[in-house]
Structure 1
Amino acid sequence: MDKYNIRIAECKPGMVIAKDVYNDKGAIFMKQGTVLTDFIIDKLVINSIEMLWVTREQAEEDESPNDSPSVKETKKEYVKRIEKIKTLFENVLLDDAIEQKVTEISASIINSDKTTGDLLRCIRSLKSIGDYMYTHSLNVASVCCLIGNWMKLGAKEVEEITVAGLLHDIGKAKVPKEILNKKADLTNNDIIEIKKHTQYGYEILKDKTGFSEELCKGVLMHHEREDGSGYPNGVKGDKINLIAKIISVADLYSIITLDRVYKRTDTPFSVFEIFESSASQKFDTLTVFTLISNVAMYFIGDNVRLSNGMEGQIFYIDNEFVSRPLIKLKDGNTFDLRSNRNVKIVEIL
């Protein structure tokens, strides 16, 4: 059977891992022959696995249902921004005055009526448009903007965080395209070069006017982790600035939920559980829970089906147990997922 080396965002439940996956210490993290599930894909993402060898051809994408007017409008705005980001990335090494272009794109994100929780649903329905790097940069910037607003940061701080999210991977403009687009296994030298994108990004922005030191450091440190397991410098905790903490969470959320070419087969509440259980050691807890608690609120009132066959409506979400809401059942009784750990939401109706 043919093998394919694909981005983690293109992985689909049911695909089979074709080669052993190793962690950064050289130990086998996931064995060849493992059948992918949403949970396993999430584990790979959280552990910074970006490419994966799989067997089984990718299925054709499902046809989208007829778009609502709001989705059509969002798509139009989204595609325009993608084109602007593409031009920005392609010319960043030649253009000494990128600040105006960056400000224009970030302002359109901040001022858009869709920069609410609705944006998350809309982007999810759009799947991937154009080159992955540009799509991902826009998604991360949009989520950074949401987090900044939910944290009630000042307008200037929200703008800076949005710009940093937009430019967090700008250093990849200096990574050779033959490495970024490589279909074969990456060598150790390839991996080292790709990881340099954080330093490259810092240097690119430092050479421009209009970008603060904090913004530049946010781009430099967006792959640092709270437990010191990240790169480029292995710093931890309060040594990582707020911009980097927000970008890292937005980056993870985007990869798990927004960038996926294929729709998840489970529910957003499974994603929230992943964040609650697996992200706490590597990501800033306040930033994680600011994101998932606010996103979760958009599901209050939705009808759901539970793994025990019961159906009902989400009517309360506890900020300390975001993945385990209270359900008003059809018979009028309340079902508390916090105290029924063996039951979960399997479908949003």
Structure 2
Amino acid sequence: MPTVTLSQVKLGDKISEDVLTPLGRVLLQKGKVIAGRELEILRAFIISSVAVDGPAVPVKASEDANAGTASKQVDDKPIAASSLHDEYDKMLVLLRQVFNDHAAPQGIPIMDIRNQMENLLQHIKNYQILTFVPRSFMERDYLLHNSIACALTSYLIAQWNGFPQKEWMQVALGGLLHDFGNTRIDRSILSKPTALTVEELDEMKRHTVLGYQMLKNVASLNDGAKLAALQHHERVDGTGYPLGIDAAKIHPYGKIVAIADIFHAMTLNKSYRKAVSPYLVLEQIQSDAFGKLDPTYVRVFVEKVTQFHNGTKVRLSDERVGEIVFSDHVHPTRPWVSIEGSIINLTVERHLHINEVIPS
């Protein structure tokens, strides 16, 4: 297991010890076979030497093997993704019916909703927050898509933050029904393409109280799921609505759904505003963590949704397409991107940002 200088590393060599960054993070893992991309990363981090086992397999064979694996993943992936999308579409149909009926509390088919949510959550491992796109999206259905996405994202945030498993479903239902009160708001206000008047804004804000009133007597929802409808626009510094309460009085579910709602409200197309880059939205959420959102939930959310995207193809704000090769835990929304042999460090190139994550 010789240690060799970087100039001596050959394509096809297999790394025998983890390669670390100057800050001690794993850059390349033990067992990784060196190809052109790996050499590029090593040079970018000015790594002087690495421990190698020598040629593991011919590079061509390695690439063929990887290609075979990728082919299998491509062949298998539509099966899993199709199941997620199928259950998502069924939830969309059910939620459209419920929202269009403007159901009274006793009329909400909560068991049908819960059963379909269980079916959807069976495929939660295939749901990736930064890259998931509904199969069919119409702007008039924004409220429905936002509700389903908030349910899935809230479920994960609760899971990531160590909530008891018995609460995960309730958090998801809180996310799903958080905007239920909007069914009682004039549609012309919800879809208005220009700024709302003071009167219209006050009317729109009523959806929080209306939603809570519609859900408060639903026995199969716990208090947190009901309060998510009332409190998802409250802010930890007391500047939110409808009550202007601070962190001490906002239920944890309300804090979680607030994060999910902001993220999806900004990354989904609306009739009056186009979707924003998810990475820019994450940066906005990080900024709002100082005084507006729960900082612990925000930190975990941003870390989790960005940590597994090394190797993901992205489109930058200047339209160039590249691949994420390294994510800095201090700046998770500004990774290093490889574009045609050059490394773009977005923590340095602040005028650029990731505009779009390209699903594989």
Q: Please give the TM-score of this superposition, normalised by the length of structure 1.
A: 0.67
Contact 2:184 2:210 (8 Å CA) reproduced:
yes
Aligned partner (choices 80, 93, 105) of residue 116 of structure 2: 105
Distance 1:323 1:210, change over 3 A: same
Take 1:347 and 1:115, find their aligned partners in 2: how far apart are those partners?
19
Structure 1 partner of 2:266:
256
Q: How many residues align?
A: 280
Structure 2 partner of 1:50:
none
Take 1:206 and 1:120, find their aligned partners in 2: how far apart are those partners?
33
Take 1:329 and 1:178, find their aligned partners in 2: how far apart are those partners?
45
Distance 1:311 1:80, change over 3 A: closer
Contact 1:249 1:283 (8 Å CA) reproduced:
yes
Contact 2:335 2:347 (8 Å CA) reproduced:
yes
Structure 2 partner of 1:25:
none
Amino acid at match of 2:296: L
Deviates more, 1:303-312 or 1:147-156: 303-312
Q: Please give the TM-score of this superposition, normalised by the length of structure 2.
A: 0.65
SS in 1 for 2:218: coil
> Deviation at 1:171?
1.4
Structure 2 partner of 1:93:
104
Deviates more, 1:268-277 or 1:189-198: 268-277
Aligned partner (choices 221, 232, 238) of residue 211 of structure 1: 221
Amino acid at match of 1:203: Q
Aligned partner (choices 231, 235, 254) of residue 241 of structure 2: 231
Take 1:325 and 1:283, find their aligned partners in 2: how far apart are those partners?
24
Amino acid at match of 2:293: F
> Deviation at 1:69?
5.8
Distance 1:228 1:343, change over 3 A: same
Amino acid at match of 1:194: M
Contact 2:142 2:268 (8 Å CA) reproduced:
no
Distance 1:126 1:174, change over 3 A: closer
> Deviation at 1:294?
1.4
Structure number with bigger Rg: 2
After superposition, where does 1:128-167 map in structure 2 within 5 Å?
Answer: 128=138, 131-167=141-177
> Deviation at 1:222?
0.7
Higher relative contact order (CA 8 A, sep 6+): 1
Contact 1:120 1:258 (8 Å CA) reproduced:
no
Structure 2 partner of 1:281:
291
Amino acid at match of 2:213: E
* Unmatched segments (≥5 aa) in structure 1: 1-66
* Aligned Cα root-mean-square deviation (Å): 3.5
SS in 1 for 2:172: helix
Take 1:343 and 1:298, find their aligned partners in 2: how far apart are those partners?
21
Contact 2:318 2:352 (8 Å CA) reproduced:
yes
Take 1:133 and 1:310, find their aligned partners in 2: how far apart are those partners?
32
Any idea what the Cα deviations from partners look like across 1:49-97, whole Å, max 9, x if unmatched? xxxxxxxxxxxxxxxxxx9665555443322111101122225217445
Aligned partner (choices 278, 295, 302) of residue 312 of structure 2: 302
* Unmatched segments (≥5 aa) in structure 2: 1-76
> Deviation at 1:205?
1.2
Structure 2 partner of 1:116:
127
